[in-house]
């Protein structure tokens, strides 16, 4: 069930919130079980085949945590994490590994990818790693299930650390003095995120998808088409993913849960290092804390730091998809971050405007292998960008200008919502926007969120 689908917005979500409100008011001891039940119903409505897999994953990792807490055997956590990664590998990378090993003769197993498997696997890893390090306590099964399966974040994040959520499960959110204000901010975030997705992300997607399809099919795009498609995709994926995150954070607030921010105007970054502090923030910190630092980080000399940085970003690229193009995308960012590391080590400075221009150009051009399914199609698109094809038509300046203005000059939704003061005019404007979006969803094509495929 998509967040941007009418059955969710007009059916599941209102019913789920109403049930949660009643339970929290009259049977607060049932709140935890209600959140778990609603989360599994939501996941099952998406694809009922994978609800048992999610349940088994939760139970297996919870049992491993209990065994470790009782015995102190560190190997238990290692085995559990290895099993989690093996499950992820079978579903997500088996066909890819077979194709690398056997080439064109490789049999296609064709396992359906359970939605959100990367995200709930990473949640298991974060908790079990912290448990082994002695910084995480042991939790009951229902509480652990609520942490892993909480439906606003189970399909595409954000990646939530246990310490950011567990304590909120004990609260009475609708008895807080700011309960009404937080509920209103949740509705505002939900509406803003939906607007990002429907008005900007989907609007751009409809214009650029034919160009990518054309190049994938073997035709060459004109220079104008290529530049419009590549610049457009940079903004599409931002509005799509940040819009999803805003909706997830807003929905969570309706249930009294504050999830961590995941985007902070990334296209304003003046360096690649700054970009990754602003883009998919929770994934960046996961890669830093659970991969980069264990690989050596910056504590064991420059060569170890460079190796850890490159390996982290390359593996981060592969996490996005079972394709060598994702590997290249991650490796490209690893090389870019390494170049920035050497630049800083030399003590050199760069004007902020030049740093911003180079960062935006680098990130945008590297979206090409992320978006294209093969290196041949990516190289074809790069050729058109470089002027190896006629200029032609198809460059929509107004569309890109609106997208760029919203991404680079507009307020950060998280900040704007938390600074918001109750006002009738503002509430009426948001209500009107929500009504407009619902009408548009009923009339137009409904695109899935880009990151649901990961």
pLDDT band at 172 (very low <50, low <70, confident <90, very high): very high
Give the pLDDT mean for 157-183. Answer: 94
Give the pLDDT mean for 424-453. Answer: 84
Q: Cβ–Cβ contacts within 10 Å for residue 120, how many?
A: 28
Q: What is the reported pLDDT for 189? A: 96
Q: What is the reported pLDDT for 213? A: 96
Give the pLDDT mean for 325-348. Answer: 96
DSSP string, 406-452: HHHTSPPHHHHHHH----HHHHHHHHHHHHHHHHHHHHS--PPPGGG
Q: Look at residues 343, 345, 346 and name the one whose alpha carbon lies nearest to residue 298.
A: 345
pLDDT in tens, 118-148: 999 999 999 999 999 999 999 999 999 999 9
Q: The whole model's pTM is what?
A: 0.94
Distance CA 244, CA 435 (A): 18
Q: Is the pLDDT of residue 211 over 70?
A: yes
Structure tokens at 286: 């996961």
**Contact criterion met (CB below 8 Å) for 109 and 95:** yes
Give the pLDDT mean for 331-349. Answer: 96
- Positive or negative CA dihedral for 319, 324, 327, 328? negative
Q: Is the pLDDT of residue 158 over 70?
A: yes
For residue 235, count CB atoms less than 10 angstroms from its CB and return exposed for 0-12, middle for 13-18, buried for 19 or more.
buried
For residue 135, give Cα distances in angstroms to 10, 74, 123, 130. 41, 14, 15, 5
Burial 174-196 (b: 16+ CB within 10 A, else e): beeeeeeebbbbbbbbbbbbbbb
Distance CA 256, CA 179 (A): 8
Q: Look at residues 352, 77, 323, 372 and name the one whose alpha carbon lies nearest to residue 215.
A: 372
Give the pLDDT mean for 230-240. Answer: 96
Contacts 24+ apart (CB under 8 A), 418-421: 418/185, 420/184, 420/185, 420/188
Q: What is the reported pLDDT for 347? A: 93
Q: Is the pLDDT of residue 161 over 90?
A: yes
pLDDT in tens, 54-74: 999 999 999 999 999 999 999
Q: How big is the chain by its Cα radius of gyration, in Å?
A: 23
pLDDT in tens, 274-298: 999 999 999 999 999 999 999 999 8
pLDDT band at 104 (very low <50, low <70, confident <90, very high): low
Q: Is the pLDDT of residue 263 over 70?
A: yes
| Helix pair angle (117-132, 141-149), 10° resolution | 130
Q: What is the reported pLDDT for 234? A: 97
Give the pLDDT mean for 336-364. Answer: 96
Dmax (CA) for the chain in angstroms is 69
* pLDDT > 70 in the chain, percent: 98
Residues annotated as catalytic (active site), given as ranges: 320
Mean pLDDT of the chain: 93
Q: What is the reported pLDDT for 47? A: 85
Q: What is the reported pLDDT for 445? A: 66
Q: What is the reported pLDDT for 89? A: 93
Q: Is the pLDDT of residue 453 over 70?
A: no
Contacts 24+ apart (CB under 8 A), 294-302: 302/345
Q: Which position has the higher pLDDT, 396 or 195?
A: 195
Contacts of 93 (CB under 8 A, 6+ apart): 322
Give the pLDDT mean for 329-340. Answer: 98
């Amino acid at each position: 069930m998509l967040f941007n689908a009418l059955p969710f917005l007009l059916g599941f979500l209102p019913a789920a919130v109403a049930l949660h409100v009643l339970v929290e008011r009259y049977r607060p001891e049932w709140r935890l079980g209600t959140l778990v039940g609603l989360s599994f119903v939501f996941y099952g409505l998406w694809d009922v085949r994978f609800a048992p897999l999610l349940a088994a994953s939760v139970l297996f990792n919870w049992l491993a945590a209990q065994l470790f807490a009782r015995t102190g055997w560190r190997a238990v956590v290692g085995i559990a994490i290895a099993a989690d990664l093996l499950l992820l590998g079978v579903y997500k990378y088996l066909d890819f590994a077979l194709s690398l090993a056997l080439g064109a003769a490789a049999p296609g197993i064709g396992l359906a990818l359970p939605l959100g498997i990367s995200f709930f696997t990473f949640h298991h890893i974060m908790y079990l790693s912290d448990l082994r390090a002695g910084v995480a306590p042991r939790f009951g099964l229902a509480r652990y299930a609520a942490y892993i399966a909480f439906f606003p974040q189970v399909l595409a994040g954000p990646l939530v650390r246990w310490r950011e959520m567990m304590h909120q499960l004990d609260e009475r959110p609708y008895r807080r003095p700011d309960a009404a204000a937080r509920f209103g901010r949740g509705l505002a975030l939900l509406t803003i995120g939906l607007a990002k997705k429907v008005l900007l992300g989907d609007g751009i997607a409809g214009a650029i998808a034919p160009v990518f399809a054309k190049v994938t099919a073997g035709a060459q795009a004109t220079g104008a088409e290529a530049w419009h498609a590549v610049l457009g995709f940079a903004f599409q994926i931002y509005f799509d993913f940040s819009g999803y995150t805003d909706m997830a954070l807003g929905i969570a607030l309706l249930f009294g849960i504050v999830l961590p921010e995941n985007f902070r105007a990334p296209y304003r970054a003046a360096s690649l290092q700054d970009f990754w502090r602003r883009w998919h923030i929770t994934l960046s910190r996961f890669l830093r804390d659970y991969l980069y630092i264990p690989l050596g980080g910056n504590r064991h000399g420059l060569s170890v730091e460079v190796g850890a940085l490159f390996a982290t970003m390359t593996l981060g690229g592969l996490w996005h998809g079972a394709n060598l193009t994702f590997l290249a995308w991650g490796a490209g960012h690893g090389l870019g971050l390494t170049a920035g590391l050497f630049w800083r080590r030399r003590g050199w400075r760069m004007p902020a405007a030049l740093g911003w221009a180079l960062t935006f150009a680098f990130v945008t051009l590297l979206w090409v292998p992320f978006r294209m399914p093969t290196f041949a199609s990516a190289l074809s698109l790069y050729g058109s960008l470089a002027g190896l094809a006629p200029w032609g038509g198809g460059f929509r300046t107004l569309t890109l200008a609106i997208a760029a203005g919203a991404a680079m000059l507009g307020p950060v939704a998280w900040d704007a919502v938390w600074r918001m003061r109750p006002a009738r005019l503002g509430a009426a404007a948001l209500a009107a926007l929500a009504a407009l979006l619902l009408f548009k969803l009923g009339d137009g094509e409904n695109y899935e969120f880009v990151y649901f495929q990961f």
